[in-house]
Amino acid sequence: MKASHSVRICVPVCEQSLVAAERAIAKAAETGDLIEVRLDCLDPSQLGGTLRNGEHLFDQSPRPTILTFRPSEQGGRRKIDTKSRLLFWLFNRPTSAEFLDIELDLALNSSVFDYGEDVDWTRVICSHHNFVGVPGDLDRVFERMIQTPARILKIAFQANDITDCIAAFHLLDRARSEDREMIAIGMGTAGIVTRVLAPARGAFLTYGAQDNDSATAPGQITARELRTLYRIGRISRETRIMGIAGLPVTHSISPYIHNAAFEFAEFDGVYLPLEVREVSSFIKRMVHPRTREIDWHFLGLSVTAPHKTSVMSCLDWIDPAAKEIGAVNTIVVEDDELHGFNTDANAFASPLITRIGELHGARCAVIGAGGAASAAVWILRQKGAEVTVYARDTSRARQLAERFDATSKPLGSATFEGFDVVVNATPLGTSGAQETETPANATQLRGARLAYDLVYNPEETRFLSEAREAGCESIGGLEMLVTQATEQFRLWTGIVAPEAVMREAAVRALGHNV
């Protein structure tokens, strides 16, 4: 795929000392097209009483620079009163920066900034930040911005749900109609989609951190991820959009798997993490061809917890197997309809059959009662296995078991001696807040033949560790993940998936502790 627009990635530098800032600028130049130098991050003592001593930071930068002196209420690293900010911009600012990021409240102060004389407004980025959510007066903020002579406008707000990103995309369209350059960003993990797609929709730039420890705003991914994982320089308005919808999704390695497959197949598509809280609103406002509020080429979705069941009411057609399972993990846009499938079930069974052979008559315990558990129980019963469902919520376990003529028992102090397979179909053990948890310990697992964890990140989960201590064979979730992803790829593109490429990308991603 080939983009027809210019993509600029700006790498922010936010250091407390001049020496550290100099090093960071040199490093940022390796991945950034521009470098934002945050003078508000510097210890005041480093500037020797006059901020002009920061001039050499801009002189020695190998890339065009943006000068920022941000107060704490707008996301800066320290309190700076209005008078100090005004004095800085009028008399003390370094003069060699290519662009100046000036907050809206100062940009509107015409008594201080004599437009056209004190500031070259063609180099000004007029900015406004809201770290709570989409501003209730967003239209008013924009109207105030276009009252300034600034050539470039920037609005960044906290995206608390994926649908908040709609406002950012609309800002880009609106700025174009006003003949202004625009930077529109949804901060937070729900706003990642704006950071990746905004340049293709006309944004002046997007921000990418030098590394995971140097991000200067919530949800700011690295410049290297923008370039190599999402291939931002090759995304255009014609690029097909796919992604994983769930909460949370930042632990997912599916973007690595699918984007590697798109690149190998030379398919013009990008796969994104989509943090979704209200799935029905997301489907209506951003996905469904008949109701979505964004003009983009949406091709399909992976669906993960907690939306695999609730999303079904949003679809126009559901594959019979997915209906029986009661969970959808794949959505395909077909003309003006949404079609739902479940690629989990067969993908779950494949590595299990490879390992233990015939499943007919096998004694299987499935821990969990959500969408993943439903797929596992359904396919196990299809293969003739004897299944017992265990869950902390005994009523949900009983309901799931009754649907597929299985049995259920409370998880509590359950023991799994004598079972051929014990499946963890819960999120316990997933990278993040639940990483140290397990639905069963070694004592409970002792005497079982094989433990199968559907969690794939990290590769070595607490559940698998406990299983090995108990003497069980084990299967991790990676094989199931890759197998179901290959079927998703085929459903979306009509192309046979490059399975080896996808598996290699998954292993590489896990090796980097994504």
Active-site residue (options: 258, 288, 307, 308): 308
Question: Hey, what's the torsion of the CAs at 364, 365, 369, 375, to 10 degrees?
Answer: -20
Maximal CA-CA distance, the chain: 85
- SS3 for 426-462 is CCCCCCCCCCCCCCCCHHHHCCCCEEEECCCCCCCCH
HSE-CB at 393 with a 13 A cutoff on CA atoms is 8
Residue 163 and residue 414: Cα distance in Å, rounded?
42
Active-site residue (options: 33, 40, 154, 258): 154
Active-site residue (options: 33, 101, 128, 129): 129
The token pair that represents 251 in the structure block: 């632990």
First to last CA, the chain: 26
Residue count (the chain): 514
Determine whether 308 is an active site residue: yes
Residue 5 and residue 380: Cα distance in Å, rounded?
50
Sheet holding 206-207, edge to edge: 181-187, 152-158, 124-130, 99-103, 65-68, 34-38, 9-13, 206-207
Determine whether 344 is an active site residue: yes
Determine whether 323 is an active site residue: no
Contact status, residue 11 vs residue 34, Cβ threshold 8 Å: yes
List of residues 6+ apart from 270 with CB closer than 8 A: 196, 197, 230, 231, 235, 239, 240, 241, 242, 259, 262
Active-site residue (options: 33, 161, 164, 344): 344
Residue 14 and residue 143: Cα distance in Å, rounded?
30
DSSP readout, 257-311? HHHHHHHHHT--EEEEEEE-SSHHHHIIIII-TTT-SS--EEEEEEE-TT-TTGG
Q: Which of 11, 75, 36 shows the shortest CA–CA distance to 209?
A: 11
Q: Which active-site residues does the annotation give?
A: 129, 154, 308, 344
